[in-house]
Amino acid sequence: MNNEEASKPLNFIETIIEEDLKNNKHSGRVHLRFPPEPNGYLHIGHAKAICLNFGLAEKYNGKCNLRFDDTNPVKEDTEYVDSIREDIHWLGFDWEDREYYASDYFDQLYEWAVNLIKKDKAYVDESSADEVAAHRGTPTKPGLESPYRNRSVEENLDLLERMKSGEFKDGSKVLRAKIDMSSPNMHMRDPVMYRIKHAHHHRTGDNWCIYPMYDFAHGQSDFIENITHSFCTLEFEVHKPLYDWFLDNIIDDPEVNRTRTRQTEFARLNLNYTVMSKRLLLQLVQEKHVSSWDDPRMPTISGLRRRGYTPESIRNFADRVGVAKRENIIDIGFLEHCIREDLNKKAQRVMGVLNPLKVTIENYPEGQEELLAAVNNPEDETMGMRKVPFSKTLYIERDDFMEDPPKKFFRLAPDREVRLRYAYFIACKDVIKDTSGNITEIICTYDPASRGGNSPDGRKVKATLHWVSAKHAVEAEVRLYDRLFNIEDPYKTEEGKTFLSNLNSESLQIRKGYIEPFIKDTEPLDHFQFERLGYFCTDKDSTPEKPVFNRTVTLRDSWAKHANK
Ligand code: ATP
Ligand code: MG
C-alpha cells in the first residue's frame, strides 16, 4: 500500500474486509473471486468488478480466483473463455493457478441435490414451464403449490436419477427446492435447481443433460473455493436469502457456517450513451451494427483496447468511480477524460493531415529538403526529439485556410502569416481553383529566418498549424470513431422502436490521412497524439504497407470543463 492509498477513506466494502480481519473471522485470509459467465465478451462494467476484486486482493495481500460460471451450455463458448482471460491479463491482473469453473463442481452439486431430496427439501416437478410461471403468484399474492410437491423421497430420487441419465426430454421436468410458495421473496418460491438440456457443454462435453441453475451453483461455488467475501452487483441482493437457504441446508457444521462466504452487493457501473447488457452487445454483433465484439465503438474491454484505451486509464477510471450502494449513471465523458489524461503523459506526438489542402512554398528551392527538430512529447522530456522532413510541397488541413475569413478566424488566409509548427512562418500569396471554383492549392512564401518556427524579429502570428511534407507523408486509413449512440439513455425509445433506433449513424467515418514518416514502423496498439486532432491508436488491421489508425478521443475535454465550472 502506498501513502496515497493509506490516507484515502475506506469505502464500505473495505470497511467490511477490515472489520473481518480485525475480528480474525477468516484467520486473516482475504480470498475473493471474479465470476463471469462465458456468454459474451467482458465490458467496462466487468472491468470495474475485476478492478474491485483483484484490486482488493492486492491491497489486502489476499487472493482472487477467476471462476467461470458456466452453467448454461447453450449460450457459452470457449471463444468467450479465451477473451475473458486475455482481457483480465491485459488489465494487469493475474489469478495464478486459480482458474475454476462451476462445471468443475457439477458432481458435487448433483450430490448436494440428492441430499436435499433425502432431507425432503427438493422435488421433481413435471408441470410445464407455463404452469410453473402461472403458479408463482405475484409479490403480493402467494403462489400455488405444485401438485408434484409432495411426492415421496424415493420417487424424487428415482426421477432425478432418470433425468440425469437422459430419459426425459428438455423442459419436461425440473428439480425444485421445497421452500415456501407464499414467501414475499419470489426467489424463495420453490426455485428451480436443475433443468434438462440435452446440450453439449464446452467443458463437460456430453456428460450431462441436466444443468444446475446459476442460483444453485453460485453460492456453493464460493463455498467450495473458500471465498471469504463475495462481491456482487445489487440485483443479487434478493437472491441472497436463497443462497443462504441452500448452504444452510447443505452444511451441517455450525462453525463452518459461521465463517462461510459473506455476500455484499454494490451498484453496477452504468455509463450514458452506452448499453452494457451482454445480450444487447451480442445483438449488435450478430446483426452487424458493429464489426465484431472488439469493434472500437463497443464498450467491451477488447473494444476499448482496440480503440486505444490503456489498462492504466481503465483502472484509474474504475478506482475514481468508486463503489456505491445505489444505482447511478456515470458520464462517459469521465471515461474519456481518464484516457486523455493518461495519453497526454504517454503519447508520442506526430503531425498528420486528414483533410489535405496542397500548399506550395513559392520561394523554397525546388528539390530542396530539410529535417526539422520536433518534440516527441512536451509532457515527457525523456521521450526526446525527432526529425520531420520539410519540402516545397506540403499539406495543411483544409479547415485551417479560408479565402474570405470571418472576424474570429485567425488561421491562414490570403495575405496573412501563420506559423507551421517546428518549421517556418508562411504567408499566403495566391489561391488556385478548379473550373468549379473549388480551392485546389494555395501558394505561399516562407521566411527562411523563422526556421524552427521562431519569430526572427519579434513579429507575432496568431496561429500555429500542423502540416506534412507531401512527398514524405505516409498515406494511412484513419478511422474516426464517435459514440455509438446518439442519446444519453439508449434504452429510451419511441413506441414500437428498440435501442437500435438510437444508434449514431456517424459513429464511424473513414478518412485517408497523410502522416509524417515517423509512423512508418508502427505496430498495433501504439498510441499517438496527432497534433491538434486527437489521440490515435494503431489498429490491429494495420500493416507497414497500409497503416490504419483509430481515433481514441478528440482533444476536447468536455468533462474537465464541466467539472471545473
Ligand atoms: P450483463 O448483465 O451486463 O450481461 P452479467 O452480470 O450477466 O452482465 P456476468 O458474467 O454474470 O455478467 O458478470 C460477472 C461479474 O461482473 C458479476 O459479479 C457481475 O456482478 C459483475 N458485473 C457485471 N456487470 C457489471 C457492471 N455493469 N458493473 C459492475 N459489475 C458488473
Ligand atoms: Mg450474470
The 3 state secondary structure assigned to 217-241 is: CHHHHHHHCCCCEEEEEHHHHHHHH
Neighbours of 415 (CB within 10 A): 8
Catalytic member of 29, 151, 176, 278: 278
Give the H/E segment covering residue 199. none
Cβ neighbours for 365, distance < 8 A, ≥ 6 positions apart = 392
Q: What pLDDT, on the 0 to 100 scale, is given for residue 557?
A: 78
Collapse the DSSP code of 301 into the 3-class scheme (helix H, G, I; strand E, B; otherwise coil) and give the result.
helix
Give phi and psi for 205, each to the nearest 5. Answer: 60, -130
Q: Which among 64, 233, 491 is the best mutation to test ligand 1's pocket, defined by most ligand atoms within 8 Å of the CB?
A: 233
Collapse the DSSP code of 554 into the 3-class scheme (helix H, G, I; strand E, B; otherwise coil) and give the result.
coil
| Catalytic site includes residue 336 | no
Residue pointed to by grid coordinates 491508436? 537
Domains and CATH numbers, the chain: 3-266 (3.40.50.620), 278-348+476-563 (2.40.240.10), 352-466 (2.40.240.10)
User: Looking at the CA of 69, which ligand is closest?
Assistant: 1
CA–CA distance, 401 with 432 (Å, rounded to integer): 13
Give me ligand 1 centre to Cα 204, in Å: 24
Q: What pLDDT, on the 0 to 100 scale, is given for residue 325?
A: 92
Give me ligand 2 centre to Cα 268, in Å: 12
Regarding the beta carbon of 269 and ligand 1, being less than 6 Å apart is answered: yes
Regarding the beta carbon of 323 and ligand 1, being less than 6 Å apart is answered: no
Indicate which residue's Cα is closest to atom 25 of ligand 1. Answer: 45
Beta strands in 223-327 (DSSP E): 229-233, 262-266, 269-271
Give phi and psi for 259, each to the nearest 5. Answer: -105, 5
Per-10-residue mean pLDDT of the chain, 565 residues long, equals 68 96 95 97 98 98 98 94 98 98 98 98 96 93 96 98 98 97 97 97 97 97 97 96 96 89 95 96 98 98 98 98 92 97 98 98 97 98 98 98 97 98 98 97 98 96 98 98 95 94 96 97 96 98 96 86 56
Atom of ligand 1 nearest to the CA of 231: 18
User: Looking at the CA of 42, which ligand is closest?
Assistant: 1
- CA angle 422/423/429 to nearest 5° reads 140
Return the closest-CA partner of residue 122 out of 144, 158, 149, 143: 149
Contact between 554 and 531 under an 8 Å Cβ cutoff? The reply is: no
Q: Which among 13, 32, 37, 46 is the best mutation to test ligand 1's pocket, defined by most ligand atoms within 8 Å of the CB?
A: 46
User: Looking at the CA of 43, which ligand is closest?
Assistant: 1
Collapse the DSSP code of 549 into the 3-class scheme (helix H, G, I; strand E, B; otherwise coil) and give the result.
strand
Atom of ligand 1 nearest to the CA of 279: 4
Tell me the residue type at 104. D
Q: Three cell numbers at 365?
A: 528551392
CA–CA distance, 557 with 204 (Å, rounded to integer): 49
Cβ neighbours for 192, distance < 8 A, ≥ 6 positions apart = 132, 174, 175, 176, 213
Q: Three cell numbers at 319?
A: 478506482
| Catalytic site includes residue 369 | no
Collapse the DSSP code of 247 into the 3-class scheme (helix H, G, I; strand E, B; otherwise coil) and give the result.
helix
CA–CA distance, 384 with 324 (Å, rounded to integer): 43
- 273 sits in the region (left: phi over 0; alpha: psi -120 to 50; else beta) called left
Return the closest-CA partner of residue 52 out of 337, 341, 269: 269
Cβ neighbours for 471, distance < 8 A, ≥ 6 positions apart = 369, 389, 391, 393
Contact between 42 and 80 under an 8 Å Cβ cutoff? The reply is: no
Alpha helices in 127-217 (DSSP H): 129-134, 153-164
Cβ neighbours for 57, distance < 8 A, ≥ 6 positions apart = 30, 31, 32, 63, 64
User: Looking at the CA of 275, which ligand is closest?
Assistant: 1
Q: Three cell numbers at 175?
A: 428439480
What is the chain's length?
A: 565
Regarding the beta carbon of 268 and ligand 1, being less than 6 Å apart is answered: yes
Collapse the DSSP code of 395 into the 3-class scheme (helix H, G, I; strand E, B; otherwise coil) and give the result.
strand
Return the closest-CA partner of residue 70 out of 204, 177, 226: 204
Separation of CA 51 from chain center: 12
Residue pointed to by grid coordinates 449460450? 75
Task: Determine whether 264 is exposed, middle or buried from the number of CB atoms within 10 Å of its CB (0-12, 13-18, 19+).
Answer: middle
Residue pointed to by grid coordinates 435501442? 499
372, β-bridge pairs: 388
Q: What pLDDT, on the 0 to 100 scale, is given for residue 520?
A: 94
Regarding the beta carbon of 48 and ligand 1, being less than 6 Å apart is answered: yes
Atom of ligand 1 nearest to the CA of 38: 10
Contact between 411 and 418 under an 8 Å Cβ cutoff? The reply is: yes
Catalytic member of 14, 37, 126, 341: 37
Return the closest-CA partner of residue 280 out of 113, 112, 484: 484
Indicate which residue's Cα is closest to atom 14 of ligand 1. Answer: 36
Return the closest-CA partner of residue 236 out of 214, 203, 254: 214
Give me ligand 1 centre to Cα 232, in Å: 8
Regarding the beta carbon of 276 and ligand 1, being less than 6 Å apart is answered: yes
Give me ligand 2 centre to Cα 37, in Å: 6
End-to-end CA distance of the chain: 33
Contact between 11 and 322 under an 8 Å Cβ cutoff? The reply is: yes
Regarding the beta carbon of 560 and ligand 1, being less than 6 Å apart is answered: no
Cβ neighbours for 15, distance < 8 A, ≥ 6 positions apart = none
Catalytic member of 25, 121, 203, 268: 268
In sequence order, what DSSP letters do the residues of 366-413 get, joined into one string?
A: TT--EEEEEES-TT-GGG-EEEEEE-SEEEEEGGGB-SS--TT--SB-
Regarding the beta carbon of 277 and ligand 1, being less than 6 Å apart is answered: yes
| Catalytic site includes residue 540 | no
Regarding the beta carbon of 37 and ligand 1, being less than 6 Å apart is answered: yes
Tell me the residue type at 518. F
SS3 content of the chain, % helix, strand, coil (to 5): 35, 25, 40
Beta strands in 434-501 (DSSP E): 439-446, 464-465, 467-469, 474-481
Report the number of secondary-structure helices (H) and strands (E) in the chain.
Answer: 15, 27
Indicate which residue's Cα is closest to atom 26 of ligand 1. Answer: 45
CA–CA distance, 393 with 366 (Å, rounded to integer): 9
Q: Three cell numbers at 150?
A: 409432495
Contact between 357 and 401 under an 8 Å Cβ cutoff? The reply is: yes
What is the pTM for the complete model shown? 0.94
